[in-house]
Amino acid sequence: MKREYYAGSIDEFLRATPEEILGLMAQNNDFPLGLEQRDAWLAELTILKTVLPGFHGSVYLEYSIPRMGRRIDAIVLIGAVIFVLEFKIGEKEFTAGAIDQVWDYALDLKNFHETSHEQFIAPILVATKAPAMAMCVRTTPHNDKMLFVIKSNVDCLGEVFKNVLRFAEGPAINRVQWESGRYQPTPTIIEAAIALYNGHAVKDISRSDANARNLTETSAAIANIIRTSKEKSRKSICFVTGVPGAGKTLVGLNIATTHIDKTSELYSVFLSGNGPLVAILREALARDKVRRVKELGQRIRKGEAFGEVKAFVQNVHHFRDECLLDVNLPPIEHVALFDEAQRAWDLEQTCSFMLRKKKKLDFNKSEPEFLISCLDRHQDWAVIVCLVGGGQEINTGEAGINEWAESLVRSFRHWDVYLSSRLTDSEYGAGELLERIATHANICYQDELHLAVSMRSFRAENVSLLVKQLLDCQIDEARLALQKAKAKYPIVITRDLAKAKQWLKGQARGTERYGIVVSSQAERLKPHAIDVKSPMDPIHWFLDSKEDIRSSYYLEDVATEFDVQGLELDWACVTWDADFRYSSQGWEHWSFRGNRWNRIKKTERKQYLKNAYRVLLTRARQGMVIVIPPGDTGDPTRPPEFYDCTFDYLKGIGFREL
């Protein structure tokens, strides 16, 4: 895939006229070339032609970053350095947003471009009318050869190149090898949704190495099930499993965008009962739509943009309500993809809701059974794809995967069933019913329906395994997993929340998002200015900038497991309360009511709490700090012994104290 609009050696670039280069760029441009864009390109070409004589290397203009939906103005390879340039033509100031922009471009290459990993990368922001700035060339403390952003005007740019090259000595980058490097991104679910919605294929925005290849294989397996079901007029349900962060949601979004045309028989709908996820994805898509239209010199109201994107991701409960209007009419979609299917409601929760909210006195189906029955209304064919997370049930009434299997055995034996070969694993809790469903006439196990590698953390793929072992009290195994993880994925522990906040801010570069996450049961963190009962808006928390006090960056509002499930941060601060505390007998489960802690006795509620911490501990893509407060001898609800054992347990596994 050709990533840039123009590529050539510096000598070739200098020999070509600006008009020749502009012609090549316009030819590769996917959009109409407006006068403003043309003039900006000509200005950039003039600057580079003034600065680059005397240097030897390569030039790449308008280099694509599908994960971000953006293009880098210019990449220049000289000596041992990759120069990443963002031009602000006519600007007199270096704005914080522009600094973050060039940071993000450089970090994308550093993290995701195979032949850029080990190279010096110099992000340079060029504000053409800005006054000269004091120049300081230094690397960030992350020990990855990334330089701090350098601010320059036109007159100083040549000297910037020379100073960086004096600082970053080493063998010259081989142009052919660099160009052949694979781009292996691991986008956030928000980035992935935007990229897929705008027409990028899943292979453009996901890793393609051997460990992660089954992301495309899983998508292909589902596509084949859909195609076969249509051709043979069959009704099929398939269960896709995966470790936290493996890309289950990404697979679902990929299928949904592949069949986004409502006039097609293959039209698909992506459904989720995760309210914050649906709201955030819709808002992000609408904001991106407005931005893209604005960049083309046009205008669109946000409400209009929202109306266009809201059908892409739907709340499963709204889909259910539509199907309630006419119990005989099939939905428009032949294919429904249910994200986090294990969180669908059981019979009791569904019937209670229908009675209280919908005045349905005689409703007698669980949510899985009703949802299957909706697709079963089609006379010819239908496909349901259940995306299943292990150990992700976190709320009362969530049926787990059992109820889907029970519904199939009880009422839908004519459906073909495609099962992930790993659905038998203990964390999916489907063992007994899978034994029953094994008698089903049309059942098929497929390895391709399991996503084994976490894509959330591109720095350490076995963090989810570490968390599982930590929560299962497998101490020796957790020690080994931690040793493997911490080389690239920093995890530290502390008793001091202020230190944790400082650590987060020191780790994040560019717009890398960080925030504080806590259990919804963590009610005795109030002395640390953390109130889980205080409402927060997930849209602002996940999408707004560093300047907005409602954003995660401000480290004031906190998110619980309900806010962050299915989403991710780059860096997380997990603040641990006494609701889930370690003891010599293992984990203890507590709930705070009134003015004291009460022991949780129900097995179901214990599992919800454990799963809540599983969710919290698997949100960070690049690293995390875990805060276990010291407690207070003067507060009977927070004595040190409620917290010390948990801290000692983590320290004994090998977590480094901050």
**What are 226's two structure tokens?**
């859909």
Model pLDDT, residue 501: 98
Output 340 or 648, whichever has higher pLDDT: 648
Model pLDDT, residue 210: 46
Q: Give the residues across from 65 on adjacent strands.
A: 70
Q: Do 557 and 640 have their domain in common? A: yes
Contacts of 497 by beta carbon, 8 Å cutoff, 6+ apart:
528, 573, 575, 627, 629
DSSP annotation of 183 reads B
Q: What band does 422 get if pLDDT is binned at 50, 70 and 90?
A: confident
Question: Above 50 in pLDDT, residue 309?
Answer: yes
Most confident of 75-84, 291-300, 339-348: 75-84
| Domain final residue pick, 417, 451, 485 | 451
Asked if residues 534 and 513 have their Cβ atoms less than 8 Å apart, the reply is no
Between the CA of residue 505 and those of 137, 501, 509, what are the distances in Å? Answer: 21, 6, 8
Domain-located, residue 497: yes
Model pLDDT, residue 243: 75
Number of domains in the chain: 3
> Rounded to 5, what percent of the chain is helix, strand, coil?
40, 20, 40
Question: Above 70 in pLDDT, residue 355?
Answer: yes
What percent of the chain shows pLDDT beyond 90?
A: 59
Q: Domain range spanning residue 260?
A: 214-274+312-451
Q: Do 410 and 531 have their domain in common? A: no
- Nearest-angstrom CA–CA distance, 99 and 531: 33
Q: What band does 403 get if pLDDT is binned at 50, 70 and 90?
A: confident
Question: Above 70 in pLDDT, residue 398?
Answer: no
Model pLDDT, residue 428: 62
Choose among 96, 247, 138, 277: nearest CA to 186. 247
Domain-located, residue 114: yes
Asked if residues 473 and 637 have their Cβ atoms less than 8 Å apart, the reply is no
> What are the pLDDT digits (tens) for 69-120?
789 999 999 999 999 999 999 999 999 999 999 999 999 999 989 999 999 9
Model pLDDT, residue 205: 64
Q: Do 418 and 504 have their domain in common? A: no
**In this structure, what is the dihedral angle of CA atoms 304, 305, 308, 314, given to the nearest 10 degrees?**
-110
Output 60 or 219, whichever has higher pLDDT: 60
Give SS3 for 243.
coil
Question: Above 90 in pLDDT, residue 643?
Answer: yes
Domain-located, residue 140: yes
Domain-located, residue 292: no
Average pLDDT over residues 222-238: 94
Stretch among 160-169, 311-320, 617-626 having the lowest mean pLDDT: 311-320
Q: Do 39 and 63 have their domain in common? A: yes
Enter the pTM of the model. Answer: 0.84
> What are the pLDDT digits (tens) for 601-620?
999 899 989 999 999 999 99
Average pLDDT over residues 494-518: 97
**What are 536's two structure tokens?**
């927060």
What percent of the chain shows pLDDT beyond 70?
A: 92
Contacts of 461 by beta carbon, 8 Å cutoff, 6+ apart:
211, 453, 454
DSSP annotation of 544 reads S
| Domain final residue pick, 124, 156, 180 | 180
Q: Do 432 and 471 have their domain in common? A: no
Q: What band does 221 get if pLDDT is binned at 50, 70 and 90?
A: very high
Output 636 or 345, whichever has higher pLDDT: 636
Q: Do 629 and 521 have their domain in common? A: yes
Output 240 or 458, whichever has higher pLDDT: 240
Model pLDDT, residue 624: 97
Q: Do 398 and 478 have their domain in common? A: no
**What are 496's two structure tokens?**
């001091």
Domain-located, residue 356: yes
Domain-located, residue 307: no
Q: What is the CATH number of the domain that holds 369?
A: 3.40.50
Provide the CA 571 distance to its chain's centre, in angstroms: 12
Average pLDDT over residues 197-202: 74
Q: Do 416 and 547 have their domain in common? A: no
Q: Do 118 and 255 have their domain in common? A: no
Domain-located, residue 384: yes
Q: Do 345 and 402 have their domain in common? A: yes
Q: Do 398 and 525 have their domain in common? A: no
Model pLDDT, residue 393: 55
Average pLDDT over residues 138-156: 94
CA Rg value for the chain: 27
Output 35 or 168, whichever has higher pLDDT: 168
Model pLDDT, residue 106: 96
Q: What band does 392 get if pLDDT is binned at 50, 70 and 90?
A: low
70-77 contacts: CB < 8 A, separation 24 or more?
Answer: 70/105, 71/5, 72/105, 73/44, 74/44, 74/48, 75/4, 75/109, 76/10, 76/48, 76/52, 76/161, 77/173, 77/175, 77/178
Q: What band does 251 get if pLDDT is binned at 50, 70 and 90?
A: confident
Q: Mean pLDDT for the chain?
A: 89
Domain-located, residue 585: yes
Stretch among 40-44, 104-108, 179-183, 214-218 having the lowest mean pLDDT: 214-218
Q: Do 165 and 238 have their domain in common? A: no
